[in-house]
Structure 1
Amino acid sequence: MDEQKLPFVVRKTENKGFGLFATKDLNAGDEILVEEPLVSCQFAWNKLYKYLACDYCMKSLETAESMSQRLTENRSLSLPHPECCERNVAITVQCPQCEITYCSTSCRDKAFTEYHQILCPHSQYCSPEGLEQLDETWRNIHYPPETATVWLLAKIMTRVKMEKNKAEFISYIEEFCHQCKNESEEIVHKLLGDQFKDQLHMLREQLKSLFYSDDIAHWFTVEGFEKLFALLGTNQQGIGSSALSVWVHNCDNLDLPDGQRDQLDTFIDKLYEDLEKVSGSFLNCEGAGLYRVQSKCNHSCAPNAEVSFLHNDHRLTVKAINDVAAGEEITISYLSECELNRSRHSRQKHLRENYLFTCWCKKCQAQNGDPDVTSDEDSEDDMDDT
């Protein structure tokens, strides 16, 4: 995109680092940003459980029907309106060496250029046993539901080897690594638990044996690796794709007579009930990515924009959910919708524990006189922890 025509500008704020600010009046629903990540990948457990996704862009590779059959454990399930499924399995392509799968030749070529010629198990550059051991180590210390993945770091280190302008790419990554030592340690502890020091040492040594280069030697010091690892807790953005969700969305847009609409809606409601019974709430191909611009978008408990994945892949979209005046900061929520509806004290507790800052947005300022007590849900969580 032409930077002169962007609807926002990135600039330094007084006390929150960088932020995104509107360069013109924006209306609710306006698209502010579409961005591809520096790196992205599927979660390790998600991949192990056969959630099929493109290894490059994370697009779901199953048809809606096959995904529903797997997640309901009902192989005879048949979905109506197959024309609403956009997944064409005929155009799926694979690496000719290891058969890792991509949604297109374009994604396969990008993957090969950026990382796969090193990460391919049949590559001369990397030990397949070492890659398997790293995957097993990570899964053994980070159980579902997953909130991070060490494979982001593996892809970052691989891309350093592949990049022509290594210094520039390293500088992009180090924009994320701004915590002081105590903050980094707190984030790592949150991600890995009480044994984090031993686990962090093990991960550092395994990654070092696979991806060390002089360009990033400082990332393999104790403090350097801790800072690098901490970016998983504060800057990675969750990604989800689902052929089933696309099918449901397209079904919702069908122009049907009332009787057929009611019948289809009843079928979809029953399908989701069956999915929840068998697979719970983990229905998507899930992973994470690092987004250079979006990561500079600050939090508000009353945000004027939101992040979504409208393309069913790793491309991220930031859209306005309220009108935004020129010069106004563009903000998103780091909290879920449920968390946003909790008390000011509960919201700030979550943000301090997970992002290491105290929110002072307009909503928090307006509720400053409220009692410093957590919501009922958090009180129950606190009792469970004791």
Structure 2
Amino acid sequence: MEDLSEVEQKIVAMSGLIQADQTNPESFAERSCLFYERELYNQALEDAKTALMYDPQCMNALIAAGRAALKMGKFDQSYAFYKDGLEIDPKNNIIIEDLKLLQKNIVSEYERKAESIKEDSYNAVQLCSQDVYPGDNELYKLEIEILQRKYKIDPTKAIAPTQVDLKVRKDAASFAVMAFNFRKDGMTQEALQSIQVAVGKDGGNYRLIQMRAEIWHDLGEDINALRDVVGIPKPCREMNTWKLGGKLLKKFELPVMAEFWYRKATQMIPESEKNTDLESAIEFQKIRVKRIYGPLTMDFPVTVNFTDYGRAVFATDNLESGEDAFEDTPVVVGQVLSTSHLPGCDHCGMSMISPLDYFGTTWEQLSAGLRSFVNDLWPEVEPYYCSCKREKYCSVTCRGEAWDSYHQIICPNKNAASSEMYDIIDNKGYIKKEKGLPIDAWTGQYSPMLLAKIWGIIIAEAKRQMKAANLEEPTTEIWASAKMPFRKFISYGVTSAVKRMPEMYDIMKRMFADCGDGLKYDITEQEFEARYYQATCNLQSFGSSYTPKHRFMEKLAKTEDIRSLQLLKHLDKKVPSVLFAGMFPLHACLNHACDNNVEVMEGYVNGRPGVHVRVKKDIKPGDELFTTYIDTTMPRKLRRAWLYKSFNFWCNCKLCQFEGDDNSTCTNCKKAAGEGKKFLGCSKCKRAWYCSTKCQKQSWVKGHRSICSMMHSQVHMQVSEK
């Protein structure tokens, strides 16, 4: 002990106390602070998280975790810990000062990266697959029949090659040159006449037929144009042939064939031009998006399209502030670990809080008569359990649906490895050990149950289709069909989830190695990474907007029992939020803007918890709907840094374009003020600065006036809060 520093001696002493009592959160929090002082930030973070496992409201642990994560460059985790702390104590000066330091670090990283990273580096097309969807082969055949019957075009019959002598071929070529020149000069009818002569002389020349198809298209004679391109044999079709065919088939509402043609065009693009010639790839995604999301938007005044930033939601009617643009239900849910101590339905996300959950420590302080009174009025919340006792449901219906959907695959009664995963959830992401510290097995902000459910849903559906077809194992087509619900969600990540969470990867791999009926599902590292980031990129937190406490209050308002007056002083508590995270297919198409025009609200959809996307300000037909991913009251530089750090894109919304960073740079022309000088700012919002009146007027006309009032209100709100 003599060779140890004072801090190290304290660490050894505290470790002895922890060994004697491994459930005391304050001991872990104190050792975390000692590790931090010794600059052992990883150990400090692990100890703080262990303390929070035992007491999620341990303020010392929240501060210690926030500081350690900040030192390790884990800004999002640091912010999450500090945010949890402020929810407990909104005026905690330590956290407030630490948050300022966090902001400074984020901005410093932003300024460093902004010099070397292009702001237009995001390529949405590269994140989207062109895989054939299950059932497309049958749809393709159906569309061929439509072409044959409705348009009298037979794509199964190609134009036969012909043999002509050289003189005739040259003569045809001269008319083709004439057609080319006429078309170039805008003389389309003359071009058509010339190309008709050329094709008449050399009817098997596919280049001439391609040119005629393009001229037919110029004239709006799309049936004739389609007849020509379809007639060209596949080996003879050039990239422009496939492009034109895709465009025409899209116009005639034959989406599967249009996708096929655009896919072929994309495949023919030279490797050196893959990142620049994106027309075919983008058009492919536009058709696919309409196919996938058309049925989801039928009942709402919105549509989904594909843009430079990927899928996006657009208004089809005038939307007024305060109304719902659309509502959405999740394809998979999982309770957020931070609220896993509160009861909620594991299938639909319904809150099932009891009087004890709501009143907390006050419950035991109430008289027996008051407790009896509350119990009589409180709605029935007794959960329905699976026989494994690891999942609870709000109804028999939810229990049956969960079993059919996924739980039959991951139920611990049938799957031994599943018990380990449920234990980790119970322990807030940790694996408890008989000796030594717990292992941090799950670092995601959401529950690992989400990933398990995704695989459970896929495997259960594959088994259902396999048995319906009387097969011994699923075919490739069956597997593809079972995965269909999750094709609506993109997946993007740059760091290895497997390396961060090897224990969880091992558990998931073992969970699905034997799915019953001789069925196995290999969770490869690539599969784990893809599903992890698919959830990470698309999750939305939600919960019950109407809880047992709300129903209790409705009954209480109608009762004439005198005990209701005695209870009033105990009813000022906030309703405990039973939070879930879900993947919502239509909601996941919303893009971010700091000047967002919609906001996501908790609500009920078809009698179950879901989300309502509410209009924040009037939206015209054709305008895109934007939500926000972050706190947009933060300064521009901090917002953009946070968005790049967390979501890997630079925001260029109107707010980011017309708000400045500080008075040393002109917001409009980016001119520097010079050493010791400052530019004058907008007198209203005080969030933009200009080198001249000319720049101020230009900025006002280009867009500053549309966001000035919004920034002014934010500044006013921040001042009021202080």
Q: Compute the TM-score of the two structures, normalised by the length of structure 1.
A: 0.73
Aligned to 1:60: 351
> Cα RMSD over matched residues?
3.9
Offset at residue 154 of structure 1 (A): 0.5
The answer to whether the 8 Å contact 2:596/2:627 transfers is yes
> What SS is found at the alignment partner of 1:309?
strand
Q: Distance in 2 between matches of 1:328 and 1:81?
A: 53
Q: Structure 1 residues 332, 371: CA separation in 2 closer, same or farther (over 3 Å shift)?
A: farther
> What SS is found at the alignment partner of 2:591?
coil
The answer to whether the 8 Å contact 1:308/1:318 transfers is yes
Task: Please give the per-residue CA displacement for 1:349-382, whole angstroms capped at 9, x wherever unaligned.
Answer: 2211111111111211121464699x9xxxxxxx
Letter of the structure 2 residue corresponding to residue 327 of structure 1: G
* Larger displacement relative to structure 2 (318-327 or 161-170): 161-170
Aligned to 2:303: 9
Q: Distance in 2 between matches of 1:152 and 1:93?
A: 20
The structure 1 residue matched to 2:508, chosen from 184, 196, 207, is 207
Verify: 1:238 aligned to 2:541, yes or no: yes
Verify: 1:156 aligned to 2:454, yes or no: yes
Aligned to 1:378: none
Verify: 1:333 aligned to 2:631, yes or no: no
The answer to whether the 8 Å contact 1:28/1:322 transfers is yes
> What SS is found at the alignment partner of 1:27?
coil
Q: Structure 1 residues 351, 3: CA separation in 2 closer, same or farther (over 3 Å shift)?
A: closer
The structure 2 residue matched to 1:315, chosen from 601, 604, 610, is 610
Q: Percent identity?
A: 22
Offset at residue 331 of structure 1 (A): 1.3
The higher radius of gyration belongs to 2
Letter of the structure 2 residue corresponding to residue 340 of structure 1: T
Q: Structure 1 residues 134, 96: CA separation in 2 closer, same or farther (over 3 Å shift)?
A: closer
Q: Structure 1 residues 372, 227: CA separation in 2 closer, same or farther (over 3 Å shift)?
A: farther
Letter of the structure 2 residue corresponding to residue 8 of structure 1: V
Verify: 1:184 aligned to 2:494, yes or no: yes
Aligned to 2:524: 220
Verify: 1:114 aligned to 2:405, yes or no: yes
Aligned to 1:366: 658
The answer to whether the 8 Å contact 1:38/1:292 transfers is yes
Q: Distance in 1 between matches of 2:334 and 2:428?
A: 17
Aligned to 1:344: 636
Task: Please give the per-residue CA displacement for 1:310-335, whole angstroms capped at 9, x wherever unaligned.
Answer: 23954122121222111111111112
Q: Distance in 2 between matches of 1:353 and 1:202?
A: 26
Offset at residue 233 of structure 1 (A): 2.8
Aligned to 2:326: 33
Task: Please give the per-residue CA displacement for 1:193-228, whole angstroms capped at 9, x wherever unaligned.
Answer: xxx6543333222111112488964x513x442232
> What SS is found at the alignment partner of 1:98?
coil
Q: Distance in 2 between matches of 1:142 and 1:206?
A: 10
Unaligned runs of 5+ in 1: 189-195, 256-261, 276-282, 376-386
The answer to whether the 8 Å contact 1:56/1:108 transfers is yes
Verify: 1:89 aligned to 2:399, yes or no: no
Aligned to 1:75: 364
Q: Distance in 2 between matches of 1:107 and 1:360?
A: 43
Verify: 1:43 aligned to 2:350, yes or no: no
Aligned to 2:649: 357
Higher helix fraction: Structure 1 or Structure 2?
2
Unaligned runs of 5+ in 2: 1-294, 431-438, 466-477, 559-564, 666-686, 688-722
Offset at residue 8 of structure 1 (A): 0.7
Q: Structure 1 residues 173, 105: CA separation in 2 closer, same or farther (over 3 Å shift)?
A: same
Q: Distance in 2 between matches of 1:18 and 1:132?
A: 35
The answer to whether the 8 Å contact 2:334/2:580 transfers is yes
Q: Structure 1 residues 132, 27: CA separation in 2 closer, same or farther (over 3 Å shift)?
A: closer
The answer to whether the 8 Å contact 2:594/2:655 transfers is yes
Task: Please give the per-residue CA displacement for 1:326-348, whole angstroms capped at 9, x wherever unaligned.
Answer: 1111111112xxx2211011111
Q: Distance in 1 between matches of 2:486 and 2:592?
A: 21
The answer to whether the 8 Å contact 1:345/1:372 transfers is no
The answer to whether the 8 Å contact 1:26/1:323 transfers is yes
Offset at residue 93 of structure 1 (A): 2.6
Offset at residue 168 of structure 1 (A): 3.4
Q: Structure 1 residues 101, 61: CA separation in 2 closer, same or farther (over 3 Å shift)?
A: same
The answer to whether the 8 Å contact 2:489/2:534 transfers is yes
Q: Structure 1 residues 133, 102: CA separation in 2 closer, same or farther (over 3 Å shift)?
A: closer
Q: Structure 1 residues 158, 201: CA separation in 2 closer, same or farther (over 3 Å shift)?
A: same
Letter of the structure 1 residue corresponding to residue 642 of structure 2: H
The structure 1 residue matched to 2:480, chosen from 167, 183, 186, is 167
Q: Structure 1 residues 206, 174: CA separation in 2 closer, same or farther (over 3 Å shift)?
A: farther
> After superposition, where does 1:283-298 map in structure 2 within 5 Å?
283-298=576-591
The answer to whether the 8 Å contact 2:330/2:583 transfers is yes
- Matched pairs, number: 334
Offset at residue 120 of structure 1 (A): 2.0
* Larger displacement relative to structure 2 (307-316 or 76-85): 76-85
Q: Structure 1 residues 43, 3: CA separation in 2 closer, same or farther (over 3 Å shift)?
A: closer
Letter of the structure 1 residue corresponding to residue 494 of structure 2: S
> What SS is found at the alignment partner of 2:594?
coil
Q: Distance in 1 between matches of 2:504 and 2:528?
A: 9
The answer to whether the 8 Å contact 1:84/1:250 transfers is no
Task: Please give the per-residue CA displacement for 1:100-139, whole angstroms capped at 9, x wherever unaligned.
Answer: 321112211211111112222222x454544346545933
Structure with more relative contact order (C-alpha pairs < 8 Å, separation 6 or more): 1
The answer to whether the 8 Å contact 1:27/1:323 transfers is yes
Q: Distance in 2 between matches of 1:208 and 1:98?
A: 23
Verify: 1:19 aligned to 2:332, yes or no: no
The answer to whether the 8 Å contact 2:540/2:581 transfers is yes
Task: Please give the per-residue CA displacement for 1:260-300, whole angstroms capped at 9, x wherever unaligned.
Answer: xx99987544x35xx9xxxxxxx321221111111111111
Offset at residue 11 of structure 1 (A): 0.5
Q: Distance in 2 between matches of 1:54 and 1:7?
A: 31
Letter of the structure 2 residue corresponding to residue 344 of structure 1: R
Letter of the structure 1 residue corresponding to residue 603 of structure 2: L
Offset at residue 94 of structure 1 (A): 2.8
Q: Structure 1 residues 332, 2: CA separation in 2 closer, same or farther (over 3 Å shift)?
A: closer
Q: Distance in 2 between matches of 1:331 and 1:85?
A: 42
Task: Please give the per-residue CA displacement for 1:29-49, whole angstroms capped at 9, x wherever unaligned.
Answer: 2222222211101134532x3
Aligned to 2:675: none
Q: Distance in 1 between matches of 2:373 and 2:318?
A: 41
